[in-house]
Amino acid sequence: MRKLPRSPWLTALLLLGAGLVISFLALSLSGQGDITWGGDPTLFFWNTLPVLLMIFFLWLALGFARLANLITGGAIFLLAAANYFKVLYRSEPVVWEDLTLLQEAGQMAEEYSMTLTPQMWTFAGVILGCSILLFFLGKGRPSATPRLLTLTAVGLACLIFVEEVCPNEDRYEALAGDYTGSQAYAATGLVYPFLYSYGEYERIHAAYNGPLAQSILAEYTDGVIPEEKKVNLVGIQLEAFADLSVYDIQGIAPSVYDDFHALLAESYSGRLVTDVFAGGTTETEWAVLTGGNRHDDFSVETNSVAWYLKSQGYTANGSHPCNEWFYDRLHVNPNLGLDDYLFTENYYYQFVPFGQNVAYDDVFFPDLEARLEDYFREHEEPLFSFNVTYQGHGPYNEEFTYWGSSWCTGDYPDNVSNVLNHYLYLVRDTADRVTGFLDFLEGLDEPVVLLLYGDHKPWMGYNGSIYEELGISLDTSTTEGFLNYYATWYAIWANPAAKEVLGHEFVGQGPDLSPCFLMNEVFRLCGWEGSAYMQAQRETAEALPVLHTTGWVKEKGVYRPEASEEGQALMDRFQNLSWYDRTHFGTLQDAVS
């Protein structure tokens, strides 16, 4: 062992080679469908530079080349694999903010097939092989002074890359070419767009202007709901519930959507354009509750519609028949003002077989009816109940269907037919449960307004393959593809008692909306002013009723991939107000006290 070479230059050369191979293998897993980085030397440089900076920084800091290679290679491998599977199942890349959802990612991995591909096994083998090679031949390292100087230089280079290169929009857009959104990510590689997403996250936060937001909000005061207009408000977010009958899909049984279409006909309904696809449930959930479309971890009490309604004398609670730790709802929901929230662990376990962690709609809806009856019998305070279902969650079995094949009889390949029949049965069952729930509400003397909506489009095959098979475009660079990808629906319904109290029929066609504006629309129909923040955001909601995290907006009745200069100013104003509102809790808390 003493005779093995210890040359720093040889070690550096071996690390250089290892970094280049790691970067190339990561790039080979970075595509999305037909969109890849395409072997462009410039893109290879920008994706490889941070890998090399990381591997050399770790070598100089730790003193062991094999450790530097293992840590760097392992981190890039995990990023590449996570991105590959997220694109496969949700057609979305891994971005910086996903690092806050590692526990949820682990839970979702148990529900999907996460078998490593031969390319991934090769990647892992190369990392291990390079580490073994470095163990024998990469024992060299610079002496103390050159090592310290070089470490400082590499550290400064890392800092410059993060602070100057990552946030550079012009460079990113130039490298992406005609691609936007997730397609731009796939077209620019893996490590570079991932770090750009960090720069984008930081840029959004850096644009925050607290004093300006405070001065705008100072023009408003929280509205007071008159006693005679205090109706009960029940919200139900339906997991992955989408109306596929709007597409030219052969053989969908009319009975699948009959009840749903009847619901829309007797509601005030419209198109909801969510910010997520095939997952990311809480993004829609939190947008509805907070009135913002960018969220933090909610580790502290944060303003929401629940806090506002509590300030008006309401009780605010709800339920989700799944695990309390999923998206950390156990801690998040109380911080959003939702008290005594029900999960599998503290409530629904009694309705499901031992060892299962989910209650479906056959449990959820009858139980909600019973709990509402109990509440109205025992309490005089109006209720805000915010609930999130689980039935309809993907993936859907491609090998067989549990409930027969009569829900879609179109001439499709077996895997497509099985997925459609699986999903459409769940939709049909949910719609039937909702219809029964409406019958229950209609018979109540208590006034109830019901908000229903779908949180995102359903999963339909790897890389959206079943959507492609059905001829449904998911090209988010076009208006059609953007809406196919992100649009669901909402319905605002009222029982006879609520219609009488509020003097509104709650029927008709509503506007296209982003989830962050949905509760404001409910308040408008109820004749409620809402909180100061809700009032301040209405100018943006009227001008840009759809305001998407990808940059798409609906402005002056037209969808466009980016706002006009005037529209951008409104977007910036909205984000500034939203940031201020979710980081300055207190006024409503005092009102509740």
β 448-454/558-560 pair status: unpaired
Return averaged pLDDT per consecutive 10 residues of the chain, 593 residues in all: 70 92 91 82 92 92 91 93 83 76 58 78 93 86 83 87 80 82 83 85 70 91 96 98 95 96 97 92 95 84 96 97 90 95 96 90 98 97 98 90 93 95 97 97 97 95 87 92 96 98 96 98 97 95 94 96 93 91 69 42
Whether 267 contacts 451, CB under 8 Å: no
- The token duo for 289 is 């509750």
Q: Which of 111, 104, 107, 112 is nearest to 84 (CA)?
A: 112
* 270 beta partners: 490
CA distance 542 to 6: 68
Tell me if 395 sits within 8 A of 111, measured CB to CB. yes
Q: Using omega within 30 degrees of 0 as the cis cutoff, is the peptide bond preceding 395 cis?
A: yes
Which residues lie below 8 Å from residue 170, measured CB to CB, with a gap of 6+? none
CA distances from 530 to 237, 304, 512, 540, 546 (A): 21, 11, 21, 15, 20
The position carrying tokens 């395409």 is 38
Alpha carbons 110 and 116: distance in angstroms, whole number: 14
Q: Give me the domains of the chain, ranges plus CATH numbers.
A: 8-206 (no CATH), 223-592 (3.40.720.10)
Provide the CB-side half-sphere exposure for 196 (13 A, CA).
23
The Cβ of residue 145 has, within 10 Å, a number of other Cβ atoms equal to 8
Using alpha carbons, list the distances in angstroms from residue 232 to 290, 380, 512.
19, 11, 25
Residue pair 196/104 in contact (Cβ under 8 Å)? The answer is no
The length of the chain is 593
Pairing of strands 448-454, 490-494: antiparallel
Spatial distance between the Cα atoms of 303 and 312, rounded to a whole number of angstroms: 14
**Half-sphere exposure in the Cβ direction for 28 (13 Å, CA):** 14
What angle (nearest 5°) sits at the alpha carbon of residue 581, between those of residues 578 and 585? 160
- Calculate the alpha carbon distances from 286 to 39, 274, 591 in Å: 40, 11, 22
Burial class (CB in 10 A: 0-12, 13-18, 19+), 401: buried
**Cα 286 to Cα 336: distance, rounded to the nearest angstrom:** 9
d(CA 316, CA 307): 8
Angle, vertex CA 237, rays to CA 281 and CA 283, nearest 5: 25
Phi, psi for residue 200 in degrees, rounded to 5? -65, -40
**DSSP assignment string, 299-366:** -S----HHHHHHHTT-EEEEE-SS-TTGGGHHHHHHHTT--S-B-TTTTGGGGS-TT-----HHHHHH
Q: Are the C-beta atoms of 233 and 392 separated by less than 8 Å?
A: no
Cα–Cα distance for residue pair 146/552, rounded to 1 Å:
50
Question: Among candidates 148, 166, 232, 302, which has minimal Cα distance to 448?
Answer: 232
What pLDDT score was predicted for residue 577? 93
User: Which residues have C-beta within 8 Å of that of residue 481, sequence separation ≥ 6?
Assistant: 473, 474, 475
Give me 33's structure tokens: 């469908």
Angstrom distance (rounded) from CA 571 to CA 80? 33
Q: In this structure, are residues 413 and 469 in contact, taking their beta carbons and an 8 Å threshold? A: yes
All residues at 6 or more sequence positions from 447 whose CB lies less than 8 Å from its CB, including other chains: 231, 232, 494, 495, 497, 498, 500, 501, 502
> Contact, 561 vs 184, CB < 8 A?
no
Q: What's the pLDDT score for residue 561?
A: 93
| Torsion angle, alpha carbons of 424, 426, 430, 433, to 10 | 110
Cβ-Cβ contacts under 8 Å for 225 (sequence gap 6 or more): 312, 528, 529
Q: Please list the residues that pair with 268 across neighbouring strands.
A: 492, 508
Helices (H), 247-315: 254-265, 281-290, 305-311
